[in-house]
Amino acid sequence: MKNFASWFVGKSTEDESKQRQIVLDCSKSIRKRLCSLSALLKSTEKQSMNPDKFSDFIKSNHTILIELCIHFLRTDHTKSKVKVTWEEISNALRCLVDLTRYTLSIPISTIQEIATSCLNENNRWEVREYGFNLVLNLLNKDINLEVPNVLMLALLDFNQLISEEAKGQLFFFDRSTIKNTSNNSDLLWINLVKTFEKTGEPAQCKLINDLEKMTGTMHKRAKDCIFFFSKILDHAISFEGSSRIQQFKLWFSMLKQTLLYMIYPAFCMPAPNIGNDLGFRNGLPPILHYVVVKWIIQIIKTADLGHIIMNCNYEFEFIVNVIGESFRLTESYNVSSSESASIALKLYEDWMFQKSMTEELKKEWDRVISKLLEYPIALFDYSQDASPRRINLCKEFLRILNESKGNGFDRKILLDCALKISNKTLQTQDPARPLQDIVEPLAEFLISLLADSIELAYINWDDYTSILKNWSIKSEFTIQIWLEKMRQITTSIKDRQFKQGQLLDGWLAMFKVLGDPLKFQERVQIKWVQALHEVLVIIILNNPQASPSPNFMLNIFFMTLSKLIRQGAKESQRLSLVTLVAIFSNTKCQEMPLQCYLEHLCLLLYMSGEKCYLWSTLLESANKVLEYPGMHFIIYMLLKIARSDLAHSIKFLFHILCMPNYYGQTKLENTEGVEMTYLDMKGNIKEILMKCVDEPITAVSALHGLTVFILDELDSGNESISSLITSFLQFKCLSENDEIAITSLTCLQTLSTSFPNLHKPILDFLINKCLQEIPNTKEKVFKSLLNTIQSWLLISKPIPCEDTLLSSLFTKLSNRLLAIDSSNPLESEISTFSSFISIYYLNYSYSQESTVFNSTLTDKDFAEGSTVHPLHYALGSSVIFTMIPHSEKAKFVLRNQFGRFCWEAYDFMVFEPSKIHEDMDNFSPLKEQKIELKINPPPLTVQEEPLLPKLLKFIADTYPECAIEETSSEGPVGFVKINDIVEDFQVEGCAEEKKQEGGRGQFNMGRYFLANLGLTDKLVPLQSDEKFERGLGILDALLPRETLKIGVIYVAPGQQDEKEILANSGGSAEFQDFLLALGDLVDIQDHQGNLGGLDPNGTAGKVSISYSDWQYDVIFHVVPLMPTDPSDGQQVLKKRHVGNDIVHIVWSDHYKDYRQDTMLTHFNIIIIIIYPVEQGFFRIQILKKVSVECGPLLDGMIIPAHLLATLVRQTAINSTQQARHNKHLNFEKQLQTRKKKIQELIQKYPIQNPQKHMVYASMF
C-alpha cells in the first residue's frame, strides 16, 4: 500500500529512483537498461491497466523508452560476448507492448514492422501474441489504420474454421497475407528466438482447453483463430479511463463492420432481417457463435457498457438477433450450440423478470417481449433432431415462461407464443413417435396459461383445442394437469355462483378444450371421465357452497355423458353414469330436472341394465333417482338385477322396503309386460334380504333392513311375519362372525316390544341355545346376548316367564361363573345381570312408562324431620343398608348398584321366607343381594295383642344367648334385665353411639323387622361422619340406568346457517308430531330423571322430551323448545347443550342436504337427518365422523311415519353407546360404576374390628 500511495502522488521510492537512473544512463549497457525498464513497467502493470494513468517518468521519457526497446530488438546480439536470452527478448517485447498502450505518440510505422515480424506463422507462440497485442494497441491509436486491420483479419484467418462443405464458397483473409518483414534487423532477433528452447504451455492453453470440451480437439491453426478472436472481443471491453466509453463504441462499430460481419452478415446490415439464412454464416463452427454470445452477455451485464447497446435501437436489434440465433440449432450442432442456447436462456430469464434491462426498454416492455419471444420458437423445431439436449432446453424455456406469467406484460403475448411453439412442436415431431418428454410440459404450460387467462375475451379456443386434442388422446398427464386447473377455476366460479360472464364462458370452454373424449385411448378416456366426475360431483355438488341447478348442468353435460354411457370404455360408462345420476340428484337446488331429461335418464338406466358390468352402479344409484316421477318404471328391472348382485343391492332395497304396504295393489309398470303390483314385491324384497344376510359383506346392513321390513309388515297387520324371526333371524345370533351375531342380537332387542307372542320361544332359544353355545371367548357377543335376554324378560313382563326357563337361565349362568376366573370381565357382567333379573324381574313389576327408576326421597325427608342420625351398615360387599329413625315404622334405605330404594314397614307379622330353588340358593350374587318378601294380609292391631311378650319370646327362640330367667313378677317380663344388658353393651364397646336425648326407641320397629329377617348378623356397621355422608351424596347422583343426552334440531325451508337454525323456536306440524312420539313431554323443573345438564330454573326452557326404559334414561335437547335470546346471534345457551351432544337428530324441511359442518362442534360425531319425501314417507341420511353401523336405521332408508320416531330414537341411542365404546375402550356401564363406588365406601369407612354385640347395641 505504501508503494501504491507513493506512485499515486508522483513520488518514487528509493529503488524505483535507482531503476530510472539506470534506464536513462546511456553509459550503461542496453541490456541492463532494458532490465531496469522491465522491472519498472512490471510494477506499473500490477497497479493499473488504465492508459490514462502513467507516471511523470514515462510521460517525459516515453519516446526514449520505446526507442530503447526497439534498439535492443534490432541490435545484432550475435556478436555479443554474453549470449542474449529468451527472457531478455520477451521483456523487450512486453515493454514495447506496455509502452504503446498509453495515450502517447508512438512510431506507428516502426511498431507495424515489429508487429508484422512477430505475427509470422513460423514464430514462437509468445512472439505472435506480443505482435497481436501491438496490433491492438495500434488500433487503439487509430481504429482505421489499414495495416493493423489487415494484420488482425489475416491473423484470425477464418479459413481455418470453414467446414469441408463450405470450402470454395467462403473466402476470408488468410495468414499468407502476412509477409516477412523487410527490415533485416528484425530478422536477426526473430531468427535468434527460433534457436531458444520452448518451455511451458502457450498462454492460450486454458481458454482453448475449455472450448475443446465443447468442440472436440481442434488443429493448431483453428486454436490460434479462436484464441485471437476471443482476445479481440475481450480487448474491446477492457478499456479503462476517460476514453473507455468512446473506445468501446469505436471498437464495437469496427467489429460489426469486420469480424462480426464475417460471422453475421445479415445482422450487421443497416436493416437486419430476422431469420435470414445469413444470420450466422453457414460453414463456420458454432464455437464462434458461443464466444460472441458470451461476449455480448458480458457487455449487457456490465453496468456502464450495457446501456450503450441496449438503448440504441440499431445495436439492440443486432444483439437480440445474435442472441436469438442461439436457438437455431441445426442437425449437425454440437455441445457449443447447446451451450450457446443455454447461456442465452439465462439472459432471457433475466430479461423476462426485467433484469439487465434498461429503463428505456422497460417503458416499451410489451414490444420488447414480443420481439424477444419470437426467437426461442426455433428451439421447438424437431425436424432437425429430437435429442435430449434440445428437449431440456425447451423445458427450460417453458419454465422461464411459466414463472414469468405474472410479471405484468400482456397475457396475449404469452398466449401467442404458447400457440406458436405448440404448433411448431405439433408440425415437426414424428407423429408415430410423439415426444412425450416435451409434449407433457408443453401441454401443462398451455393449459395453465389458458386457465390463468380464462377471463380474456380474445382467446380463440378452437386454436388451442386443435392442439390439445392431439396430445390428450394418449396422455394421462395432460388430463391430470387439466383437472388441477379445472379445480381452481371451478372453485372461483362457485364463489361467483355461476353468474353469466367471461369466467363462466371460459370455464365451459375449458371443458371442451381437450377435444372429444370418445376419441381418447381407453386409459386416457377413463382418466378424463374421472376428472370430470371430480369437478362436477366432488367439487360442485358436494361442496358446501351454492351449486348450479340440475338443468343448468344437464344442459352442458348431458349429451357428453350419455354418449360415454352408451359408447365409452366400461369404466368410463360406469363413472359417467355415476356423474349423471349425481347431477340429477343434486339436492342443493330446489329446481326439478326437466321432464325431457328425466325421460332420457330413465331410458339410459334401462339400457344400462343390459350391461352386467353396470349392474352394481345401477343398484347403488337407484335410491338417488327413484324419488323422481316416472322412475318406478325401472324397479322391476332393478329387482331382477338385485338377485344377481347382492353386494350392491342394499341401498336399493332400503329405498323400496316399505313401498309395498304404502302403494298396495297399485300396478307396478315394467317393460316386460309382467302383471305385478307393489304388494307382489314383498316376496322379492324378503327373499333378497335373506340372501344378503347370508353374505358376510352385506349381512349387517341386511339384518337392519330385515328388521325394518318385519316391523312394517307387523304394522300392516301381517302377524305371520313373526315366523321370519323364529325361523331365520334368531339363528344368525349363532354366527361365527361376531359382528353378524351382535347385529342379530341387537335386532332382536329392537323387535322385543313388538312381538309379545314370541316371548317364550325367543327366550327359550336365547337361554337354552345361545347361552349354551356362545363361548366365553366371544366377550362382546356374550354381553350382547345378556342384554337381549334382559330386553325380552323385562319389556315383555306382562307375560310371565316359565320357572323352567328361569331355572335354566340361572343354572347356566352359575356354571359359567364356575368355569371362568374372577378376573375375567364376564364375571362382573354375569353377576350384575343375575342380580338385576332377580331383583327387578322377580320382585317388581316394571312398567315401560316409568320415568324414575329409584327413590327420589332424601334420607332426611324420609326420616320425617327426626333429629336422630340414621344408622349405616354394609350388607355384603356391594350393598349399603341404612336404618332411618322412626318410632312407629320400620324405615330403611337400600343402596346397591341398581339404585337407591326407600322401604317402610308397619303392621307386619313374622313370616317364613319362601324356599329358594336349590340352584338359585347356590348362586352367590342371589344369596347375598336378593331380598324376597312375602306380603301377608294386614295383621291384628298392636293394641289387641300385647307385642312385648311375643317379641321377647321371639328373641329367646332366635337368640338363646339373650334369654334371661324371670326374677320378678312385677312389670313386663325380663324388661329390667334386658335393659341392663343393653346398658352393659353400651358401656363395653359402643359408648360412641349413645342416642341423642329423645332418640330412644327410634329404631325399635326397624330392629324388630331386621331380626325377623335374620339379617342382623350380616350387617357391618359403617362410620357415620360428614365425609361418609358426602360420599353417599355422590353415590346417589350416579343414576342406575345409562343416562344419555341427544340433540334434536329443526331446519326450516331455506335455512343452512347455524345461527338461523339455532334461532328456531318452532317447527312444522310433522316435526311436532315426531317430538311427541319420540318420548314423553316433561316439565324440566319437576322432572326427577336425567336432565342432561338442563337447568331446572328455566334457562333451558320449561319443557323437554324424555324417554326411559329398563336400560336407558334419555333426555332430548330440543333446540326449538329452548328459549331464544334475540340479543345473542350465536344462541350460546342453546349451543352449550346441543353442541356437546354426541348424536344429533336433525329434521330438515330444507330442499338442500344438511351438511356435517353446519353446526361446528368438537363433540358431535353422528347426525341422523330426517327428510320428508312424499306423503307419509321419510328419507334417512346418516353422517358420521367415525365408522360405525349402529342401526336399526341406516343411511338411505325410506321409512313410513308410524315407524319413524321409534326407529330414530333406537338408532340415536345405539349410536351414542357405540360412540362411547369407540372413544373409551374400557367404557363401564352406570351399574358397574355404582357398584365400584359402593365397594369403595364400604372399604373406606368400616368400624374397625366390629363385635357382634355392637350391631345390636347400635339399634337401641
- Higher confidence at residue 24 or residue 1215? 1215
What's residue 928's pLDDT?
41
Q: For residue 933, what pLDDT band results from cuts at 50, 70 and 90?
A: very low
What's residue 1's pLDDT?
43
By C-alpha distance, which of 508, 611, 534 is closest to 567?
A: 611
Structural domains of the chain ordered from first start: 1-160+173-199 (no CATH), 859-1025+1252-1258 (no CATH), 1039-1234 (3.40.50.11210)
Which has the minimum average pLDDT: 179-193, 623-637, 1130-1144? 179-193
Give the global pTM: 0.69
- Higher confidence at residue 887 or residue 1126? 1126
CB 609 within 8 A of CB 622: no
What's the rounded mean pLDDT across residues 382-399?
86
Which has the minimum average pLDDT: 114-128, 246-260, 675-689, 1156-1170? 114-128
| Helix or strand (DSSP H, E) at 813 | helix 803-819
- Is residue 1110 scored above 60 in pLDDT? yes
Edge-to-edge order in the sheet of strand 1019-1021: 899-905, 890-896, 880-884, 871-875, 1019-1021
Mean per-residue pLDDT over the chain, rounded: 80
What's the rounded mean pLDDT across residues 137-165?
79
What's the rounded mean pLDDT across residues 618-640?
89
- Is residue 581 scored above 50 in pLDDT? yes
- Is residue 689 scored above 90 in pLDDT? yes
- Is residue 734 scored above 50 in pLDDT? yes
- Is residue 1168 scored above 90 in pLDDT? yes
What's residue 746's pLDDT?
92
The alpha carbon of residue 99 and the mean position of all alpha carbons in its chain are separated, in whole angstroms, by: 75
- Higher confidence at residue 290 or residue 796? 290
Report which DSSP code applies to 768.
I
What's residue 4's pLDDT?
42
pLDDT digits (tens, 9 = 90+) for 940-971: 443 444 555 666 666 666 555 455 455 444 44
Which triple of cell numbers denotes residue 517? 373424449
Could you give the 3-state DSSP secondary structure of residue 1146?
A: strand
Which triple of cell numbers denotes residue 998? 329423645
What's the rounded mean pLDDT across residues 1066-1093?
90
CB 836 within 8 A of CB 1231: yes
Q: For residue 243, what pLDDT band results from cuts at 50, 70 and 90?
A: confident
* Residues of the chain above pLDDT 70, percent: 80
Q: Do the strands 1166-1172 and 1143-1148 form a parallel or antiparallel pair, or are they unpaired?
A: parallel
- Is residue 876 scored above 60 in pLDDT? yes
What's residue 728's pLDDT?
92
Q: For residue 174, what pLDDT band results from cuts at 50, 70 and 90?
A: low
What's residue 103's pLDDT?
74
| Alpha carbons 942 and 911: distance in angstroms, whole number | 17
Max Cα separation, the chain? Answer: 179
What's residue 53's pLDDT?
63
What's residue 166's pLDDT?
53
Give the orientation angle of helix 14-24 with respect to helix 30-47, to 10 degrees.
140
pLDDT digits (tens, 9 = 90+) for 5-44: 444 444 445 677 888 888 887 888 888 888 888 888 876 6
For CA atoms 282, 287, 289, 290, the dihedral sign is: positive
What's residue 1243's pLDDT?
86
Q: For residue 1167, what pLDDT band results from cuts at 50, 70 and 90?
A: very high
pLDDT digits (tens, 9 = 90+) for 428-473: 887 666 677 888 889 888 998 888 888 877 888 888 898 888 888 8
- Higher confidence at residue 49 or residue 364? 364
pLDDT digits (tens, 9 = 90+) for 641-682: 999 999 999 999 999 999 999 899 999 988 788 889 999 999
What's the rounded mean pLDDT across residues 110-129?
82
What's residue 363's pLDDT?
86
What's residue 611's pLDDT?
92
- Is residue 785 scored above 90 in pLDDT? yes
- Is residue 509 scored above 50 in pLDDT? yes
Q: For residue 1119, what pLDDT band results from cuts at 50, 70 and 90?
A: very high
For CA atoms 1146, 848, 1215, 1118, the dihedral sign is: positive
Instruction: Determine phi and psi for 204, rounding to 5 degrees.
Output: -80, -10
pLDDT digits (tens, 9 = 90+) for 56-80: 788 888 888 888 888 888 877 666 6
Edge-to-edge order in the sheet of strand 1177-1184: 1080-1083, 1103-1108, 1112-1118, 1042-1051, 1143-1148, 1166-1172, 1177-1184, 1198-1200
The C-alpha angle 1249, 1250, 1251, rounded to 5 degrees, equals 120
For CA atoms 545, 550, 553, 557, the dihedral sign is: positive
Q: For residue 187, what pLDDT band results from cuts at 50, 70 and 90?
A: low
DSSP, residue by residue, 330-358: -TT--HHHHHHHHHHHHHHHHHHTT-S--
What's residue 1015's pLDDT?
75
- Is residue 1089 scored above 90 in pLDDT? no
- Higher confidence at residue 213 or residue 864? 864
pLDDT digits (tens, 9 = 90+) for 980-994: 433 443 444 333 444
By C-alpha distance, which of 1204, 1131, 1121, 1132 is closest to 1168?
A: 1204
pLDDT digits (tens, 9 = 90+) for 814-865: 888 888 887 788 888 888 888 888 777 766 555 555 455 677 777 777 777 6
Which triple of cell numbers denotes residue 1108? 326411559
* Residues of the chain above pLDDT 90, percent: 22
What's residue 214's pLDDT?
60
The C-alpha angle 1135, 1140, 1146, rounded to 5 degrees, equals 70
How far, CA to CA in Å, does 532 sit from each of 467, 526, 576, 588?
A: 20, 10, 9, 19
CB 647 within 8 A of CB 693: no
What's residue 1246's pLDDT?
79
Report which DSSP code applies to 273.
-
What's residue 995's pLDDT?
39
